[in-house]
Chains A and B, each alone.
Chain A
Amino acid sequence: MLQTKDLTIRFGGHVAVNTVSCRFVPGTLTAIVGPNGAGKTTYFNLISGQLKASSGSVLLDGQDISALGVSARTRAGLGRAFQLTNLFPNLTVFENVRLAVQATRRGTHRRGLNLWSIWSDHGALSQRTEEILATVAMQDKQDAIVASLPHGDQRKLEVALLMALESRVFMFDEPTAGMSVDEAPVILNLIRALKNDPTKTILLVEHKMDVVRELADRIIVLHNGTLVADGEPAAVIASPVVQQAYLGASPEDASAHDVAPAQSKLPRRGGTRQAP
């Protein structure tokens, strides 16, 4: 189980994440929503170790991992996807995944230059790599150089790497952003498949409410760095804080709020004929 206890970070005078305490249980998908700048990505950074907390702690299976760096946390099972480019751009898709598979089997390569073990491992590594590529439906692109891949494929590959690293916690930061409508289902299906695995804990930052509604077992809401709501998706979505601060009150609600749809109108000043 992943847990944050009073997790806090200050940037100068600004408290970006403010005493957030939360537990994330394996076999569940928790969506984290909130206005832009609420602290969602910062919260992810604190969990994955990109940022060190000012106070509070991060626990994985009861162990305090707050002092660990990113790579140690990754080895402990924390998998962070997106907004973090951890691909090798000049290697092929296959080589990227195989490296990640290899990283989980470090033990077998500490025997020094044992040519027999290298040769015998090779088949197993390649087989596992092929399995993972099949899971993310990228077998046909295994020989492509990563730098030449479209954005969506690079994101799929990142999920493949997390699978290869045998992560237990998967953190997705807007996984479908920048992805065309025909490609988004591939990533969503991957997340759905992960969700069916009772050993995996999934955290998802997502602005598309249809995706949240469909995938989340639970929603937490961050606003100005503070946890303001936590519960069943339907109840949280219906709550006033989400309706007004996040979704933007619909005209029927007519309730004023500082982030409700703008009332101001573009000042008219004739035409726009300024081209030389």
Chain B
Amino acid sequence: MSAAGPLPTVAQRSPPDAVNPMSQALLTLSGVHTHIGPYHILHGVDLSVPKAQVTLLLGRNGAGKTTTLRTIMGLWRASAGTLTFAGRDITALSTPEIAERNIAYVPENMGIFADLTVRENMLLAARSAASEKQMDTQRLDWIFGLFPAVQKFWNYPAGKLSGGQKQMLAVARSIVEPRELLIVDEPSKGLAPSIINNMSNAFAELKATGVTILLVEQNFNFAQKIGDTVAVMDNGVVVHSGSMQELNQDAALQKSLLGLAL
């Protein structure tokens, strides 16, 4: 478990494709190909997600970011390549088997159960609690502080929440219990700035307890603030990987990789 620093203190100028030497990989994808129907989406993805760090998967729309997350979770089957989690090959595992490795995943569409209450949605994710009474109340209070809407609408059907409130619930549900790996597809989408602030604090706190975090994020300001490691995708492959610090300091690299003109 690494020390709780917001960013690595040493500016490591790592060449592309290098794994950050400061931390071992919890999740590794090597040469992963994914087909969806007749479409060949991932063309050999190599990705290394270092333990107890925040890894950002960036890239333009259609680059393959969401497909990469879905392939990790077994929602799409890799047609070639290997996925390794905590030293074990998970390539052939089913989605429930992958989730049972203590991985939380917030999909792009949030996956809220609209007819269940907010409480029931949360309880479903609390695998070690059979009833609300067994939920970790300290942790719940922490979540309520981050996402006030979750507390306010505790006994309301989740389908009645606004778009942003559903997003809060989706992220809240993924952190209701400690997980080894937390994967979120666009955490900041639709959220007010104050809530995004709360969330970046929460990710930093989770990381400090040893949680590994993998995010797809389009809000570059948010990504810059919370990311340790970054992988940029284009046309179904990872075209750059390195530290966020390096990307932050290199305007030319941002422009060439992300089309950012700052």
Q: Which residues of A contact B (CB under 8 A)?
A: 11, 34-37, 41-42, 83, 148, 150-153, 174, 177-184, 207-209, 245-248, 258-269, 271-276
Question: Is B100 close to A, CB under 8 A?
Answer: yes
| A37-B161, A178-B186 known; A276 vs B101 contact (CB < 8 Å) | yes
Residues of B within 8 A of A150 (CB): 60-62
Q: Please, which residues of chain A bring their CB within 8 A of the CB of B186?
A: 178
B130 on interface, CB distance cutoff 8 Å: no
Interface centre among A150, A179, A275 (most CB of B within 10 A): A275
In the complex, the answer to whether B139 meets A272 with C-beta atoms within 8 Å is: no
**B59–A180 contact, CB under 8 A?**
yes
Q: How far is the CB of A222 from chain B (nearest CB, A)?
A: 11
Assess A207 versus B259: contact at CB under 8 Å? Given A153-B61, A266-B139: no
Selected from B162, B192, B202, the residue in CB contact (under 8 A) with A41 is B162
Q: How far is the CA of A264 from the CA of B137 in the complex (A)?
A: 13
Task: Number of B interface residues at 8 Å Cβ cutoff, please give it.
Answer: 58
B149→A36 contact, CB < 8 A:
yes
* Interface positions of B (Cβ within 8 A of A): 1, 39, 58-63, 86, 100-102, 108, 136, 138-139, 141-142, 144-146, 148-149, 160-165, 167-168, 178-180, 186, 189-195, 197-198, 201-202, 205-206, 208-211, 218-220, 258-260
Please tell me if the beta carbons of A182 and B194 are within 8 angstroms of each other in the complex: no
Q: Which of A11, A41, A183, A272 contacts B211 (CB 8 A)?
A: A272
Task: Knowing A37-B165, A41-B163, A272-B209, say if A182 contacts B259 (CB, 8 Å).
Answer: yes
Given A182-B60, A247-B193, A272-B178, check contact A267 B142 (CB 8 Å): yes
- Select B259's contact among A148, A177, A181, beta carbons within 8 Å: A181
Shortest distance from the beta carbon of A118 to any chain B beta carbon, whole Å: 35
Closest to B212 in A: A272
A272 in contact with B102 (CB, 8 Å): yes
12 residue pairs from A and B, CB less than 8 Å apart: A42-B162, A83-B163, A151-B61, A153-B62, A177-B190, A180-B218, A183-B61, A267-B139, A267-B142, A268-B209, A272-B211, A276-B101
Q: Report Cα–Cα, A35/B168, bound state, in Å.
A: 12
Residue of A nearest to B185 (CB): A178
* CB-based nearest A residue for B262: A181
Name the B residues within 8 Å of A180 (CB-CB): 58-61, 63, 218, 258-259
Residues of B within 8 A of A183 (CB): 60-61
Complex contact B259–A265 (CB within 8 A):
no
Question: Is the pair B258, A275 in contact by a Cβ cutoff of 8 Å?
Answer: no
Residue of A nearest to B260 (CB): A181
Q: How far is the CA of A273 from the CA of B208 in the complex (A)?
A: 14
CA distance A269 to B210 in the complex (A): 11
Verify A37–B164 contact, CB threshold 8 A: yes
CB-contact partner of B1 in A36, A177, A271, under 8 A = A271
State the 10 A-B residue pairs at the shortest beta-carbon distance, nearest first.
A248-B194, A182-B259, A36-B164, A150-B62, A262-B145, A264-B145, A152-B61, A150-B61, A267-B138, A180-B60
| Contact between chains at A264 and B149 (CB < 8 Å) | no
